[in-house]
Amino acid sequence: MSQEFQAPRGFHDIFGEDLKKFRHVSDTVRKILKSYNFEEIILPVVEFADLFERSIGEATDIVQKEMFVFEDKKGRRLALRPEGTAGAVRAYIQNRLFAERPYHRIFYEGPMFRHERPQAGRYRQFHQIGAEIFGADQPVADAEIIKISDEIVKALNVKARIEINSLGCKVCRPAYREALVGFLSGVSEKLCDVCKDRKERNPLRVLDCKVETCKEAVKEAPRTTDYLCEECERHYSEVKRLLDSLGVSYVENPHLVRGLDYYTRTVFEVVSEELGSAVIAGGRYDHLVEEFGGPSAPALGFAVGVERLALLVEVPKEEEPVYFLIPFGDVIPYALKVAEVLRAKGKTVELSLRKGNLRKQLDFANRRGFKYVVIVGEDEMKEGVITLKDMETGEQVRIRAEEVE
Ligand code: ATP
Ligand code: MG
């Protein structure tokens, strides 16, 4: 095929077995979110680029190298969304949802775009289901979103470990940042070139670097939890106490920082050992709504990586059998009528478009694994019946379509 008709690198068609897994993940997550009464919001795929630049942070990987930015006809800078929280916050403010009630639980689902180096579980278009709670500062909200993440991996039968941390707040983060900058200047020569650059501009990011030498170099870095102010300490302890009372297992990782700048206090990741990466990630962002011109509305949320989870799940066997309808002879209008009767009974019916004799049709049905074949020939039409064949037992009966159980 000529190069110009290939999908661009990192962009994928999702179909067949992969799509079944994708849908299984999506359906499961949506069901769990709905059981907590999260309301869906459909957000645009395109926003003004500076919405992301200002929220995610100028010195982050996403903004520095991963965003698809383009100009519209009036020269305005737009971006394909790399994540959902910034758009959700924009929508929360623009639609004045805060005026409706003191807090909101919402979720969104859809494609996200990041110009990353494609590899297993890392694409340039991928899908997230994200949930956000606006207007809640209580630790129980943090515990709730982490519990939901736990429910998601359990319902999908995926082995993963929950890592949590607290990044502190405007009061206590500066002291931590300073201690970290001091530490990083001592190990500077061991850091990768990118981290050498970000160790002052955005030192927390260094803790998130995936390069082995950097991971090694920061092993003894100061721990965020050693610098928490009294209120952050109390908040974090309460989150952990609630998780314990809910029976959610987690490990504390005092170097977990996440790749976006807007987080405060609780952050967490659900990490799959098998993939070597996170399948769900999130945290609290208490100032973002206000920084975007909204009211003071502490908030938090998480995003589920649908493709990554889909790589790890088994799809439950479909119980619904398919009826493969083979019209034979000059019977098409009658066959269509039969299909209609069966579908009205809730059956799934596929009309055969395979050409050839009955033998070929049955071989084809067999290869496709259909449980039932419905043969409609001229005799059947005359008598107003169908021949229903059970492909597993080979049993065959002539009955009226209305009589199919
Ligand atoms: P990573 O550290 O793996 O790059 P991230 O911190 O950039 O992840 P988030 O921005 O927190 O990821 O996004 C939340 C989730 O979305 C991730 O945990 C992951 O499951 C999924 N995700 C992120 N980037 C990609 C991608 N390029 N392709 C597929 N899934 C992704
Ligand atoms: Mg990333």
Q: Whose CA is nearest to atom 29 of ligand 1?
A: 122
Ligand 1 atom, smallest distance to 116 CA: 27
Note the pLDDT of residue 260: 75
Average pLDDT over residues 359-377: 95
Q: Which of 125, 277, 279 to mutate to test the pocket of ligand 1 (most atoms within 8 A of CB)?
A: 277
Q: Whose CA is nearest to atom 25 of ligand 1?
A: 122
Note the pLDDT of residue 1: 57
Name 200's Cβ contacts closer than 8 Å, sequence gap at least 6.
Answer: 181
Note the pLDDT of residue 318: 75
Mean pLDDT of the chain: 95
d(CA 7, CA 215): 35
Regarding the beta carbon of 123 and ligand 1, being less than 6 Å apart is answered yes
Average pLDDT over residues 50-60: 89
For the domain made up of 16-172+228-310, give the CATH fold: BirA Bifunctional Protein; domain 2 (3.30.930)
d(CA 345, CA 189): 71
pLDDT category of residue 3 using cuts at 50, 70 and 90: low
Ligand 1 atom, smallest distance to 279 CA: 20
Q: Which CATH superfamily is domain 322-403 in?
A: Anticodon-binding domain (3.40.50.800)
Could you tell me what percent of the chain has a pLDDT over 90?
90
d(CA 304, CA 110): 11
CA 219 to centroid of ligand 1, rounded, Å: 23
pLDDT category of residue 2 using cuts at 50, 70 and 90: low
Could you tell me what percent of the chain has a pLDDT over 70?
99
Regarding the beta carbon of 18 and ligand 1, being less than 6 Å apart is answered no
Residue 351: strand, helix, or coil: strand
| Residue ranges of the chain assigned to CATH 3.40.50.800 | 322-403
Regarding the beta carbon of 209 and ligand 1, being less than 6 Å apart is answered no
Query: Token pair 């645009």 is at which residue?
Result: 44
Note the pLDDT of residue 236: 98
| Residue ranges of the chain assigned to CATH 3.30.930.10 | 16-172+228-310
Letter for the amino acid at 161?
Answer: R
Average pLDDT over residues 91-106: 96
**pLDDT per position as a tens digit, 281-332:** 999 999 999 999 999 999 999 999 999 999 999 998 877 899 999 999 999 9
Note the pLDDT of residue 185: 93
Regarding the beta carbon of 144 and ligand 1, being less than 6 Å apart is answered no
Note the pLDDT of residue 373: 97
Q: What pTM, to 2 d.p., does this model score?
A: 0.92
With CA atoms as reference, report the closest residue to 386 among 325, 332, 344, 320: 325
pLDDT at 122 over 90: yes
Cα-Cα-Cα-Cα torsion 136, 139, 145, 146, nearest 10 degrees, comes to 160
pLDDT at 4 over 80: no
**pLDDT per position as a tens digit, 190-231:** 999 989 988 888 899 899 888 999 999 999 999 999 999 999
Ligand 1 atom, smallest distance to 302 CA: 14
Note the pLDDT of residue 71: 97
With CA atoms as reference, report the closest residue to 315 among 6, 26, 11, 35: 26
Q: Which ligand is nearest to the CA of 280?
A: 1
Average pLDDT over residues 245-274: 93
Note the pLDDT of residue 201: 85
